Structure 1
């Protein structure tokens, strides 16, 4: 705790300016995300303040600015619809999500979340962007959007038949300003804030349209967890989804911050900080948040260097909350929809989609599949299916590479001494070199490949394990099959370079039952010399005509 309270004040000026700028940018987004979640604009502000402050204080990425983000709001909006707006249960889900994230960080899960393949991340992030866009159409047309992506999508024709032209005008102008606002002006007034102000001012001169209305201000009240047995499974499921998506979102933002600052974040510490922030946010009526990429980038570009910048961002928002209610009540829903529409467009991974056709076809298919599942099914199914399919595709590719190596490598990389003996022996010997740890994907077919290759060999088979440091059960059973098939075919097996750990694994599983115990060699050359010596004895009509190999003098145990 003492280390947490030690702040680096050498960059105080940059941290203050970075925090102020990020705080101003966060105002319209926090209000918009609060409305989109169903809990109201003040819940978005509370979430931005609390998550932003505690994630900065306890997190592992000094320049991260945290707050409500698109992925979190999509889940909260779905939960709001499923629980019929029960605020107590929704905030309980936010608290549980924070607890899950603390556990993720404590057990080191942060090191694995970053292993999610890029097409999966791109697919579900783009899907979230599409969901946010779909949810804004009805508000742009001056209607209250029904809860749920599919319901909002189905309602669009109805909204089109009765368009509130004043709301549509405000929404389109807000969106246009958000896109057209010059970057150099953003140093003084951020684009999202300028767009929101423009849309709000314009709405004052147009006919009536839906607005935010009265917004409570002041300090938040305490919300203790609520436990309802009939809804707990839904709450726990939503909390887990929030925790996973928030963790991925935060760590992706941390990677962006690392690239900009040439530093390296602490993934597990970052998850703990995010978890503490979300737990406290739920206790005080705030929506869940995560590391926010746009706000983090703005913070860094404005001079933010240490965690003070993220905490100052929260202090700015807290000051605004104390007096924002009367002003923010006039903000039209259409203006917020315009801001969120751009947020959704920014989340869609257009940079990958433009180049996807040049890369592996499977990655594009995977990205499209995850995107579709995200929009039309749910986020956890999309991420789970994407990770499983990506892993299976990778295992298949590794297995193919290992099986190809099994066929080509021994003959293309033989030493001159080995080549001389191989030329002399001809088809009397077949060599199999296993390229690294034998994956379970390759284990299923390796027996067939070995049988196909040794069927023309007269006597001997060399199994080279020099590059196999360990072996799992699938690989061990594959080796057992090779040994037993060779024994039935009356082929003599010579084993090269088998590591003690591999020997122990085979022995423990009884998978060495068909492998000769007296034919272990340290090198492939020694095994070839033993086979060559045996061949010469056989040709001379000596006692070496037996199928049993000679025990090598330099055999390894």
Structure 2
């Protein structure tokens, strides 16, 4: 396995152009995300540089461009506010330590090969939390859009809406409105030359510089130039549990965000990403970003799409994107100091609108009730509680319902056959004859496919209401595997039958099924002669034993 996944030098021109284009798109977003997080514009740039560089070098999606994203910034804003409120002096260090821990967890996810499970999150859950994140971003930017400081939470911003509307700053509202109009309505031909976000950023800032007069709008302010300083992690036992929970939130969200963007990149490039390697690369990028005071990041869909459309195909493009932003910090950072918060708010409101899953929302009334309810539940939990709670609750509910449906299907596919049932299709002519001759004193319990733990409790219920019988045949010929719960349910069936004086026979055990029954000492409950390779042999043996007294 090569150190850098997908690296080759046959597409240098496309990668250079793709990386440069992605950097132009990333610049205004990095500044906006940095300001929105509370950590400052420079933190957004640092995050774009370090996550972008190391995720490109060590990730598993060659064409992906990474950096601060809307979902990650929403979490980071909450983390930064929380820890600064607890300790104004050390709070920022605690927040960036959380970023490092989140990166460490992401790397662990990749090393443990959990990547394939991250993308198994049900669609209604993904739709709900992405829509919720979009709404949070919009709500948090309403304050700056109307000329007020950003609220600490979406709930607080909701409460402040009447105040924003009645006490709006006309200058801020004008700048934010112009910015939002540019990013939404920018002509496609112009957008192909200049990214709408950059055009809106420059236009809004120029308007402010020309006409601000006596207005006192909030601006980005001083942005440090030069390379960042190393920030050593800082821990406090009093808040360690809060730090770990926040780190888990960043890791889970960053993993989902990145791998969803990887799927977009795969679709555009007709390639296949390495999900575990991608998590490792993203984790390393976030750890380094935290060490240098940068925002956490993930695979950025907009920047990745722009990169691919411009010709970027390899990790060189993501690296070029990061290097271009380094030069911005070294020389051009002072040019961004006069950008008004209202302009950044307009850009971020468009980001929020893009994150909302409008395609599914428009069809929500046509979706099954459970799917629509699950999506709305996750959305509300995302906005009103937190992202991890929303995702975990959504996945748990979705899995419980799915498992219940599978269990019902599995139980429906299990047949209990005797001479009176009239459901002996699938049996051979000889097997039907033997079963008929048992006169209902032998029952064949036929499994069909794997039986999950959720269906295990219903196994015995299949026999309830059956007339008295002397032998029970358990046919495993079509069962590729069972789990421990199913094995224990089978043990209960065997014990219950034996207590009633019935013989129990097993048919067609493959090595996997036989192994787990042997390990749990369940196979030892019945004589070896009662384990059969075929149904015919089992029916012959059961018939002979049931009617031995009559035969004698």
- How big is each residue's C-alpha offset from its partner over 1:73-121, in whole Å with a ceiling of 9 and x where there is no partner? 1111111111125221111111222222222222222232222222222
2 CA distance for matches of 1:334 and 1:493? 77
Q: Deviations over 1:264-323 (max 9, x none)?
A: 111121112112211111222211111101110110111001110111111221222223
Q: TM-score, normalised by structure 1?
A: 0.90
Q: 1:105 aligns with which of 85, 103, 110?
A: 110
- Is the Cα–Cα contact under 8 Å of residues 416 and 446 in structure 2 kept in the other structure? no
Q: For 1:403, what is the secondary structure of its paired residue?
A: helix
How many residues align? The count is 539
2:165 aligns with 160
Q: Provide structure 1 residue ranges, at least 5 long, that are not aligned to the other structure.
A: 544-557
Contact 1:68 1:290 in 2 (8 A): yes
Separation (CA, whole Å) in 2 of partners of 1:147 and 1:263:
41
Instruction: State the Cα distance separating 1:13 from its structure 2 match.
Output: 0.8
Shift of 1:123: 1.8
Q: Counterparts of 1:35-54 in structure 2 under 5 Å? A: 35-54=35-54
- 1:408 and 1:472 map into 2 onto residues whose CA distance is 21
Is this contact kept in 2: 1:46–1:285, CA < 8 A? yes
SS in structure 2 at match of 1:374: helix
Tell me the SS of whatever aligns to 2:241. helix
| Secondary structure, counterpart of 1:462 in structure 2 | strand
Give the one of 471, 492, 506 matched to 1:460.
471
Equivalent residue, structure 2, for 1:295:
303
Secondary structure at the counterpart of residue 217 of structure 1: coil
The answer as to 2:22 corresponding to 1:22 is: yes
* 1:423 to 1:160, Cα distance in 2 relative to 1, 3 A: same
The 10-residue stretch of structure 1 (210-219 or 164-173) with the greater mean CA deviation from structure 2 = 210-219
TM-score by length of 2: 0.91
1:172 paired to 2:177: yes
Partner of 1:518: 529
Shift of 1:6: 9.9
Which residue number corresponds to residue 441 of structure 1?
A: 454
Moved more, 340-349 or 416-425: 416-425
Deviating more after overlay: 438-447 vs 323-332: 323-332
Q: Within the alignment, does 1:250 sit opposite 2:258 as a pair? A: yes
Give the 3 Å change call, closer, same or farther, for CA 508–293 of structure 1 in structure 2: same
User: What CA distance in whole angstroms lies between the structure 1 residues aligned with 2:235 and 2:102?
Assistant: 15
The equivalent residue for 1:118 is: 123
CA distance in 2, matches of 1:404, 1:451: 15
CA distance in 2, matches of 1:518, 1:230: 64
* CA distance in structure 1 between the aligned counterparts of 2:122 and 2:339, rounded to whole angstroms: 40
Residue 235 of structure 1: how far off its partner (Å): 2.1
> Cα RMSD (Å) of the superposition?
2.4
Moved more, 297-306 or 469-478: 469-478
Distance, in Å, in 1 between the alignment partners of 2:34 and 2:75 is 12
Contact map agreement 2:231 2:292 (CA 8 A) in 1? yes
Given that residues 100 and 288 in structure 2 are in contact (C-alpha distance below 8 angstroms), is that contact kept between their aligned partners in structure 1? yes
- Counterpart of 1:369 in structure 2 is 377
Following superposition, the deviation at residue 20 of structure 1 comes to 1.0
Question: Is the 2:7–2:62 contact (alpha carbons within 8 Å) kept by the matching residues of 1?
Answer: no
Deviations 1:426-453 (A, max 9, x none): 634332222233211111121112233x
Preserved CA contact (<8 Å) 1:14 1:304: yes
Specify every segment of 5 or more residues in structure 2 that has no aligned partner in the other structure, as ranges.
418-422
Residue 34 of structure 2 contacts residue 45 of structure 2 at CA under 8 Å; is this kept in 1? Answer: yes
> CA, structure 1 residues 6+339, in 2 after alignment: closer, same or farther (shift >3 Å)?
closer
Q: Give matches, 1:531-550, under 5 Å.
A: 531=542, 541-543=550-552
Equivalent residue for 1:135, pick from 140, 154, 157: 140
